[in-house]
Amino acid sequence: MTMHKVAQVSAPWPQLLNFLFYITFQFNAMRLYRRFALLALATALVALAAAQTLPTPKAITDPKQISSKPNAEIEPRTLTIEKLFMTRQIGPATWSPDGKSVAFISNMSGRSNLWVVPADGGFPTQLTVSDQRQNAPAWSPDGKWIAYQSDYDGDEQWDIFLVSPKTGKVVNLTQTREVAESSPTWSPDGRYLAYEVKPKTSAAVEIDVYDMVMREVKHITTGTPQDKANSTPIWSKDGAYIVYTQEQAKGTDSNIFIASLATAKSTLLTAHKGEQLYFAHDISSLGGDDAQTVLFTSNAANGYDNVGTLLVGTHGEPHPGDVRWLTKDKWEISGGQFSPDGKHLTFSGNVDGNQEIYLWDLATGNSTALAIPKGVNEPSGGRSAFSADGSRLLYNHNGPTAPGDLWVYQLGTRKSQQLTHSLVGGVRSEDLVEPYLVHYPSRDGKWTISALLYVPYNMARNGQNAAIVYIHGGPNSQTMNSFSRLIQFAANQGYMVLAPNYRGSTGYGKEFEQADLFDMGGGDLQDVLAGVDFIKQTGHLDPKKIAVMGGSYGGYLTLMAVTKAPDVWAAGVPIVPFVNWLTEIQNEDPGLRESDVATMGDPVKNKALLEERSPINFLDQIRAPLLLLAGGNDPRCPKSEALQVVDAIKKRSGSVDYKIYDNEGHGFARVENQIDAYKRVADFLLAHVVPADCSCTLTP
């Protein structure tokens, strides 16, 4: 997938923290209810046979069927930016080895730090206190340390740290400002820590292992080509091998390897012809007397992400042909982990933006879906979502009317208990809007475009209302049915909000995801404009009161929209955008540079295309006022990209506002910066695209 402007699916949390304009939870990805309430979920399990496809939700295709729900108890314009952005954000979590505690990342203190909560519920305790954001916690098997990664003011130059859960003592394990280390994972005996390594000046990502006893580093991979990256190290149960994934920069091909800890020799496990994706998730010792089983996700079976297993010998040798497909669906299925006894595994099914968790019985070949609320549900827990004794499953539930929270599912009783509580006073689930799932045809007739459409309560069908088109980043990402603070603010103010999954988005198969290769800013922009055609036909909107906004690649498409279709928009808000393919490729992180060249072309050979798809060259066409926001340390879309737009528009005496946050990166992690940034967005939109007054009497 194009790395541009989102993290790998295996590590969504940094982007969740940064991209508050971003609806998806990948993690991706691949991520409630009233405060301090412990709710037991209805947990009847739904059986799902291997050959059966996942149920497809019904989408609205006729814009005239879109209607606003009446709600006399809703007070419009009472959900302030301050309230919504003080709702807590819950990130990745890790089980303690004894199963008594859960450590997790949260911004409850205003910074994304590490917290610990009892696994049976209780008030969390802050474990780390730092001005810098933290991520990817991993509890050591002996319980003495929790490893995590932290960078500096959003620069993505991660170091690996250790913190003692008993004393709070913090140790910087790597201390390499010019090299980023990330994704720490412990060997089963706790002696070794494996992690990803990327020098600042390199595009390649390697895997290293730190020996906690000898205090030395061993290189598991070396000499990886600049157009490839190794990721997600996974230990075999005996600690003798590491399974990892290697992906090419174009994002259309990847492989799974197994490496010996003793010799650092890697063996290819997924030899294939053509371009296919394979991603490893876990390895179990229960593959037979002479084999281990690797759980993977791949689009090799039918062009859609599905889950399978393959056998590996106990000495790391592949078993050719021993591949078993567990699913063959036409949605996005992602592997999870094996249970400690090796008898079950988890996988997630993303069906048009709703994601459920499934338990697969390896003996019977049947799966069951946890009957938990709709939204984005994802196994959590670090190395495994299962507790060490296999009796519980940790997951994150996130829905449109409830921010992400950690829950513990009891496999014996089939009930769940909520561990964290993200909503704050003054923000109730019943005040928030659930979106419609809508489908509309692309303008060229090649695709059906899926989108989420948020309609405020009590909006009259009178042709006087305002709307916002909210474009996700990536481009290889997806708008999902999860919580968005900014969208809920907009809906409460009286804006209809459309969040489209244009061509190039994940979740809809290989062909759709690759449809934007060498066409970014072309067909995907037309898909966004087709969404405008759809919402205009609902009868609710004044066509002169439509704004466009987005972050990262969504910020780029926002600028393409206001330059290529200038008469459509009343305002534009690009956040951490890039504006010029040539300067972006020149100045961005080397890994992203490899990705952009592989997906849009060489700056010399494909210069004409890159110039035609760079909005910086068409700023004279802009009719709408702009607000641009950027991070001073952004390695993905450097602040110089946004400043090019500001300088050019000012020279022509055009209307442009901007703000650079010097202590942030690709998005905004500090709560005070989030509040400041999105208050600016709110004030800008309310000034330039004024929503109609709420009507409590609806017109049919």
Residue spans of the domains in the chain: they are 58-69+433-688
CB atoms closer than 10 angstroms to residue 44 = 10
CA nearest neighbour of 589 among 151, 190, 110, 169: 151
- φ, ψ for residue 97, nearest 5 deg: -65, -25
CA nearest neighbour of 523 among 476, 484, 557, 483: 557
On whether the CB atoms of residues 118 and 131 are closer than 8 A, the answer is no
On whether the CB atoms of residues 284 and 338 are closer than 8 A, the answer is yes
Counted residue by residue, the chain has a size of 700
Determine the Cα–Cα distance for residues 25 and 184; give it in Å rounded to an integer.
21
On whether the CB atoms of residues 45 and 414 are closer than 8 A, the answer is yes
Tokens standing for 250? 């174009």
Angle at 200 between CA 196 and CA 204, to 5 degrees: 50
Give the Å distances, CA to CA, from 563 to 199, 453, 662: 37, 24, 28
Identify the H or E element spanning 628. strand 626-631
CB atoms closer than 10 angstroms to residue 327 = 26
What local confidence, expressed as pLDDT, does residue 660 receive?
98
CA nearest neighbour of 508 among 474, 478, 530: 478
Residues 6+ apart with CB under 8 A from 274: none
pLDDT, averaged per 10 consecutive residues of the chain (700 residues), comes to 34 33 33 24 35 79 97 89 95 97 97 97 96 98 98 98 97 97 98 98 98 97 98 96 97 97 96 96 77 94 96 82 90 96 95 96 91 90 94 96 96 93 88 97 98 97 97 97 97 97 98 98 98 98 98 98 98 98 98 98 98 98 97 98 96 92 97 98 97 59
On whether the CB atoms of residues 424 and 482 are closer than 8 A, the answer is no
pLDDT tens for 467-511 read: 999 999 999 999 999 999 999 999 999 999 999 999 999 999 999
CB atoms closer than 10 angstroms to residue 654 = 17
What local confidence, expressed as pLDDT, does residue 289 receive?
60
Residues 6+ apart with CB under 8 A from 114: 103, 104, 105, 126, 127, 128, 134, 137, 146, 148, 163
Q: Is 596 left (phi over 0), alpha (psi -120 to 50) or beta?
A: alpha
Helix axes 523-536, 553-564, angle to 10 degrees: 70
CATH class of domain segment(s) 58-69+433-688: alpha beta
Give the Å distances, CA to CA, from 304 to 310, 333, 334, 513: 18, 8, 10, 10
Give the Å distances, CA to CA, from 60 to 90, 451, 452, 463, 535: 32, 10, 10, 20, 12
Maximum CA extent, the chain: 75
Determine the Cα–Cα distance for residues 493 and 545; give it in Å rounded to an integer.
14
What local confidence, expressed as pLDDT, does residue 425 receive?
78
- The b-or-e profile of 402-440 (16+ CB within 10 A means b, else e) is bbbbbbbbebeebebbbbbbbbeeebebebbbbbbbbeb
Mapping DSSP onto H, E and C, the string for 405-447 reads EEEEEECCCCEEEECCCCCCCCCCHHHCCCCEEEEEECCCCCC
pLDDT tens for 81-104 read: 999 999 999 999 999 999 999 999
Determine the Cα–Cα distance for residues 164 and 162; give it in Å rounded to an integer.
7
On whether the CB atoms of residues 353 and 480 are closer than 8 A, the answer is yes
CA nearest neighbour of 470 among 443, 482, 452, 456: 452
Place of tokens 């474009």: 471
pLDDT tens for 357-407 read: 999 999 999 999 997 888 999 999 988 999 999 999 999 999 999 999 999
